[in-house]
Structure 1
Amino acid sequence: MTTPEPILPLTGIRVITTGQILAAPFCSTLFAEFGAEVIKIEPPVTGESNRGSVSFAQDNRGQKAITLDITRPEGAAVFRRLADRADVLVDNNRPGALEKWGFAPDTLRETNPGLVTVRISGYGQTGPYKDRAGFDRVALAFAGITGLTGYPDRPPVRPAYFVADYGAGMFAAFGAMLALRARDQTGKGQDVDMALYEAVWRMSGTHIASYGLQGKDRERSGNYMPGVVPAEQFETSDGHFLVINATTPRAFSKLCEAIGQPELVHDPRFAPRTNLMQNHAAIHAILGEWVGQRPLAECQATLDQFGVPATKVYLMEDIVGDPHFADRHQVLSVESADYGHLLQPGVVPVLTATPGRVAHRAPLLGEHNEEILLGLLGMQPAELEGLKAKGLV
């Protein structure tokens, strides 16, 4: 007897999305992975500009797709019918685009009072910069992370991942869940206004507090984070890089034991803790010498034995071959229309009773036209054929 599949937590929620590129599709796919029906709306013929790319295949997995020209009156009327049947609308066009097309959220809520509208943009829907164009890298710079990343004698460096786009997608999904919860209490929908830069800014930690206290910016400092000691990456004798992060008194004590120098805990260079912070170069030099005399496997085994936080600096080949990633299903092989099966990140977060899943690959352009337009909206075949003839779908 087989165990029935659990009902996913967002089963019964319908999301429609006009989003493109990264942040909005990613936000929408998070919904799909936990059971929501997500309907992606794209322009006929061309689809969204990112279609055909590897990122499209990954960031739109689990969604359904229809084609619809929402900029023309007949297409706009169909869009409104979809909006009347939706719980959430996700959009990341420039501020004012929905209003230009006749879809101001408040007007959509005239016929669907509970609609939650998620609006993702570079700078938000308000403020003096709201009409500026914004992409991930611009948002990173505006939020301050670029200026702090890199070495002091070199230009700033961008992070290797799209932190703003994916961060905004996560915060936007979280905001939508809050709005849906509020709807449970009030029966009314609302807007979720998510700026790319604000996702990064919210993750900036205490940098602004330090600025407020000291009245000056922290300079770029490479891998060293002021006050976070010891924490650095060191090259092993067999040519790998190992990160050690033992920044609490207890972790530092364990680290000193692990490298066979327990007396360092009481060394005046490193005690009290203010001295340790001032002499970070000295402790890092000691650790670098210890790591440099040993292969990675020995270093990792020793540090694990003593409970010291440490790991190899992973590359993709390490991640794909790692048993922990595999055990937690964090490397998936997902079908795609253009590339065969693609390796992709797993579903996050992990829920123990109702875990998410990737239901299916990213959709083909207009793949679900008949299912949505004939099924959900109840169009007659002749009406759909008429829309096709006019180039509206």
Structure 2
Amino acid sequence: MTATGKSKGPLDGIRVVEMGQLIAGPFCGQLLGDMGAEIVKLEPPGTGDPMRHWGQGDKPSWWRVIARNKYSVACDLRSDEGQQLARGLAARADILIENFKPGTLEKWNLDPADLRAANPRLIVVRVSGYGQTGPYAARAGFGGIGEAMGGWRAIVGYPDRPPARMGVSIGDTLAATYGCMGALAALHHRERTGEGQIVDSALYEAVLQVMESTVSDYSVSGTRRRRTGSTLPGIAPSNVYPCRDGEYLIGANGDAIFARLAAAMGRPELAADPRYATHLARGAHQEELDALIAAWTATLTVAELEAKMIEASVPAGRIYDAGEMMADPHFAAREALVTVPDAEFGTVTMQGVFPKLSATPGSIRRPAPVAVGQDTDAVLERWLGREG
């Protein structure tokens, strides 16, 4: 699908100033922009956001995703002129996003308290490593540090190896997502009261929020989660299993689902076996059950196994890379991937806008700005009524 940009989205009319750089702040801006907000991104003159050069391969393209739906305004926040410009834009904005080290805005004469005094309706989203308060607030913090402190890194990988990481910057994007969620909640509050507020999203807390019962398990029973590789202890079967031509993920840990898997294996008696008949029993015999299933899947191709799992209505799926996503008919049918025109690359295929709203869907209305500050004059005229 080619992104058409016809839908204005539910946040049409909301103005956002994005002061952040790298991942967390800009991803929050991407989410709000996808939902229809007008995003004015302030970039250092000349160099711009380092994200312009991030990505993999000989043509890094991450910028095309994280900067879509944004207008680039060249603004040196370290200078008096740049700070004056930022204050002028903030006075006319609904939301301001920043992900600098706490205290940086204050140092630049852009204290959120002062910005909100001039514009009481302003919502300021502040994304940082440790939050705006507490003994660690002044420390520098990137996504990986938040993942470590929030407990993620301790449980990712295999027990006989050092902690691993995901192949994406999950700490940054989680903190950005919570920042976006906070901004939407603050917009609702403002609708009722007329008052904006500060949204304080910490990287380590965003990671902590998705750590399920890690802390409560320790609180109740002293249990510490450890690295367990590709399995979750006590959840079986739920693993990646070998096929003759690849790997395949099966999640059949419910009693009824496991019975269907056993029947598909030609081993219906397994569902009545005391070792595997219940959730707790399967968890207690997880390794031997995984070995039994792996011996069966190894006799099949991925396609053969998938056909059996679909017929048996067992949750399962292929492990996709980008090429397989682009070739899959379900991605196409739901427009999960869209193709966006690009002045340098011609077109760029990227993830679409999620979640999907039935009445006011979001959209990609404009590609990422190619040049730093390319929209400065237009934004200053539209927002401030003056030429750049």
- TM-score norm. by structure 1 comes to 0.92
Give the secondary structure class of the aligned counterpart of 1:299. Answer: helix
What are the within-5 Å matches in structure 2 for residues 36-55 of structure 1?
A: 36-53=37-54, 54-55=61-62
- The reply on whether 1:298 has 2:298 as its aligned counterpart is no
Matches within 5 A, 1:235-384: 235-237=242-244, 239-363=245-369, 364-379=371-386, 381=387, 384=388
Q: 1:5 to 1:343 in 2, by over 3 A?
A: closer
Matches within 5 A, 1:148-167: 148-167=155-174
Secondary structure of the structure 1 residue equivalent to 2:50: coil
The separation in 2 between residues aligned to 1:276 and 1:35, in whole angstroms, is: 47
Amino acid at match of 2:295: E
The residue that corresponds to 1:391 in the other structure is none
| Map of 2:202 onto structure 1 | 195
- Please say if residues 52 and 338 of structure 1, whose CA atoms lie closer than 8 Å, have aligned partners that are also in contact: no
Give distance in 1, aligned partners of 2:321 and 2:342: 24
Alignment check: 8 A CA contact 2:237 2:251 kept: yes
**CA displacement 1:30-85 (0-9 Å, x = unmatched):** 11112111100112222222224422221011100111223222322222111111
Distance 1:268 1:88 in 2: 58
Count of paired positions: 377
Structure 2 unmatched runs, 5+: 55-60
State which drifts further: 248-257 or 331-340.
331-340
Amino acid at match of 1:327: A
Q: Distance in 2 between matches of 1:88 and 1:234?
A: 47
Supply the AA of the counterpart residue of 1:117: V
Question: 1: CA distance between counterparts of 2:321 and 2:134?
Answer: 40
Classify the secondary structure of the residue corresponding to 1:284: helix
For residue 333 of structure 1, report the CA deviation from its aligned partner. 2.2
Residue 275 (structure 1) shift: 2.1
Distance (whole Å) between structure 1 residues aligned to residue 343 and residue 150 of structure 2? 36
SS state at 1:193 partner: strand
Contact persistence 1:347–1:356 (CA under 8 A): yes
CA distance in 1, matches of 2:342, 2:145: 30
3-state SS in 1 of match to 2:51? coil
Is 1:78 matched with 2:78?
no
The aligned residue for residue 387 of structure 1 is none
RMSD: 1.6
Aligned to 2:153: 146
Identity of aligned residues (%): 38
TM-score by structure 2 length?
0.93
- The offset of 1:7, in angstroms, is 4.5
Letter paired with 2:207: V
Counterpart-to-counterpart distance in 2, 1:173 and 1:192: 9
Gaps (5+ residues) in structure 1? 385-393
The runs of 4+ residues in structure 1 deviating greater than 6 Å are: none
